[in-house]
C-alpha cells in the first residue's frame, strides 16, 4: 500500500483508509464485534494505516471498537475521530443537536482518548459546522489541545470554503472530510480549489456512494429500518433505477481494467489529486480486499477524460440527504 501526505501538514497515511462507522452504526444492525476487530487487524496487515471513527457512531461504541482493535498497533496507525454533536444526556442512542463549544471539545477529547486507548488523537475533526459557535473559537480550542499534546492534527468535515479559511487562519487545518465520489461532485466547484490553495488534504467519505457504486444495490434492495439509506432520497427505488447509468459507466471501465466498479470508482478518486485519501467502509473481508485493490488500478489521462466526459452527461437523481440533514452541511 502506497502512502500519501494529507496536504502540507506532515500527516502521512495509507492511500486508502478504512471508514469504521458502518461496523456498529448507521448501516443496519451492528456487525459481530470479534469479526470487526479481525477485519481491522487484517486491514493493517494489508497496509492500511488510516482508520476513521467518531464519538457519535453508536454513540461511543465505535470508538471503543476501534480502540480495542488497533491497540496492538499503537504508534503505527493514524486514527481520526470527531467532535461536534450533543449527545442525549439521558443516554439515548441519538444525538440531540450540535455542540462545538470549546469546553465541550475538550471534554470530548478526553473521553475519546480513553475509548481509543491512546495518549494522543492523530486527527480530530469538527464533525459538522456549529453555527452557534464561531469557527475561530473551535480552531482555538483544538489548537490548545494540540499544544497540550492531546491532539496531533486538526480537521473539518462538510465545511464550506469560507469556514475552512477562517479556521485555517487560527490553526492550520490538516484535512477536510466531506462526501465526494462520482455521484457527489459538489466539492469540485469550490472546496477542492480552496484545499489546494491552502495545502489541506482531502478525505472523501462515502467514496463508493454508501455502497451504490459497488453495483451491489438495485431497485429491489431492502434496507433495514436503522440503515440511514432507508430514508435518503437517493436510495428510493426510482432514484436507484435512474442512477443505474453511472454503474454502467463504471462497469465499462471495470471490464477494460479487469477490476470491479468499486475499484474504478476508487481509482478515479485517487487520480484526482495526490493528496486525496478515500475511506471506504466495509464489514466484509472480501470487500476490504476489493477496495484496497482500487489503489493498484491506474487510469490513463485518456481514460480519465473519457470518464469525465461520460459522467458529465449523467444527471444524478435524488438528494444525498433529507432536507433536515442538509441543514447541518456547510457545502
Set 44, 57, 125, 180: catalytic member:
57
Q: How far apart are CA 268 and CA 52, in angstroms?
A: 21
Residue 281's SS3 state is strand
What's the distance, CA 249 to chain centroid?
A: 24
Strands (E), 151-264: 151-157, 173-179, 201-205
Catalytic, 153? Answer no
Element (H, E) at 309: helix 301-312
DSSP string for residues in 54-102: -TTTTTTHHHHHHHHHHGGGTTTSEEEEEE-EEEPTT--SSEEEE---H
- Would you give the DSSP letter of residue 106? H
Strands (E), 200-282: 201-205
As annotated, the active-site residues are 57
Amino acid at each position: 500500500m502506497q502512502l500519501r501526505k494529507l496536504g502540507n501538514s506532515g500527516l502521512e497515511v495509507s492511500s486508502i483508509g478504512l471508514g469504521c462507522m458502518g461496523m456498529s452504526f448507521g448501516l443496519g444492525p451492528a456487525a459481530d464485534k470479534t469479526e470487526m476487530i479481525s477485519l481491522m487487524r487484517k486491514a493493517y496487515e494489508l497496509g492500511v494505516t488510516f482508520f476513521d471513527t467518531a464519538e457519535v457512531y453508536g454513540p461511543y461504541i465505535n470508538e471503543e471498537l476501534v480502540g480495542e482493535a488497533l491497540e496492538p498497533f499503537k504508534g503505527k496507525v493514524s486514527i481520526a475521530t470527531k467532535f461536534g454533536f450533543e449527545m442525549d444526556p439521558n443516554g439515548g442512542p441519538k444525538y440531540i443537536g450540535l455542540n462545538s463549544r470549546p469546553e465541550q471539545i475538550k471534554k470530548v477529547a478526553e473521553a475519546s482518548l480513553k475509548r481509543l486507548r491512546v495518549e494522543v488523537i492523530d486527527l480530530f475533526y469538527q464533525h459538522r459546522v456549529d453555527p452557534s459557535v464561531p469557527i475561530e473559537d473551535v480552531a482555538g480550542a483544538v489548537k490548545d489541545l494540540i499544544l497540550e499534546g492531546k491532539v496531533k492534527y486538526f480537521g473539518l468535515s462538510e465545511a464550506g470554503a469560507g469556514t475552512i479559511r477562517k479556521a485555517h487562519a487560527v490553526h492550520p487545518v490538516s484535512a477536510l472530510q466531506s462526501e465526494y465520489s462520482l455521484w457527489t461532485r459538489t466539492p469540485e466547484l469550490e472546496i477542492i480549489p480552496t484545499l489546494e490553495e491552502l495545502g489541506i488534504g482531502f478525505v472523501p467519505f462515502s467514496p463508493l456512494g454508501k455502497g451504490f457504486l459497488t453495483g451491489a444495490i438495485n431497485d429491489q434492495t431492502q434496507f433495514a429500518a436503522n440503515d440511514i439509506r432507508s430514508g435518503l432520497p437517493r436510495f428510493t427505488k426510482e432514484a436507484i433505477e435512474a442512477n443505474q447509468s453511472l454503474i454502467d459507466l463504471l462497469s465499462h471501465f471495470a471490464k477494460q481494467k479487469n477490476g470491479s466498479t468499486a475499484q474504478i470508482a476508487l481509482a478515479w478518486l485517487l487520480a484526482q489529486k495526490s493528496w486525496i485519501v478515500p475511506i471506504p467502509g466495509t464489514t466484509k473481508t472480501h470487500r476490504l480486499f476489493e477496495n484496497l485493490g482500487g489503489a493498484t488500478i491506474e487510469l490513463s489521462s485518456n481514460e480519465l477524460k473519457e470518464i469525465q466526459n461520460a459522467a458529465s452527461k449523467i444527471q444524478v437523481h435524488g438528494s444525498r440527504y433529507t432536507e433536515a440533514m442538509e441543514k447541518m452541511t456547510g457545502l
